[in-house]
Amino acid sequence: MAGKGDFTEDEWTTLHKGVTGAGMLVSTGHKDFTDSFGEASAMAKELVEQRQHGSTELLRELAGTRGTGFGAFTSPSELKETLAELSEAVTILSSKAPDEVEPYRALVLDVAQRVAEAKGGVRAEEEAVIEQIRDAVGASAT
């Protein structure tokens, strides 16, 4: 069973930023500032649930990592780098903890979906971002 100690600091940052970045990227998919607070709350709630009930130790540790890994003024274009980080995260997990790849994909997509559903249902722009996230983690559409 993999945990934080099995990864370098840079690898851990990549794994963590992939999770939180996915939620933040979806939030920027539909640009309504009033939705931001509800979406941030939805992401926080999903991470709390994962920290308590995640299917693996790795997921619980990732969900318990403080902060988002992004600055307060991270631009939407900088958030797009999340897609590359997600691909890198899957590569890291594939080599160091292959049993964690599918649970990680599920966590990332759960966070993204929860954020998208936070305020009035999933909009087309948010679904497009989720599809990009799905591609980045190598998950097929459901």
Q: Which of 109, 100, 84 is nearest to 22 (CA)?
A: 109
The string over 88-108, giving b where at least 16 C-beta atoms fall within 10 Å of a residue's C-beta and e elsewhere, is bbbebbeeebeebbebbbbbb
pLDDT at 32: 63
**Ranges of each domain in the chain:** 9-136
CA distances from 98 to 31, 35, 67, 90 (A): 36, 36, 26, 9
For residue range 43-73, list pLDDT tens digits in order: 889 999 999 999 999 999 999 998 777 666 6
Cβ contact 97:5 at 8 Å: no
Report d(CA 71, CA 68) in Å as an integer. 8
pLDDT at 111: 94
Bigger pLDDT: 99 or 75?
99
Bigger pLDDT: 67 or 12?
12
The string over 30-65, giving b where at least 16 C-beta atoms fall within 10 Å of a residue's C-beta and e elsewhere, is beeeebeeebbebbeebbeebeeebebebbebbbeb
For residue range 21-48, list pLDDT tens digits in order: 999 898 887 666 556 677 888 988 999 9
Residue 9 has pLDDT above 70, yes or no: yes
For residue range 78-132, list pLDDT tens digits in order: 888 899 999 999 999 999 999 999 999 999 999 999 999 887 778 889 999 999 9
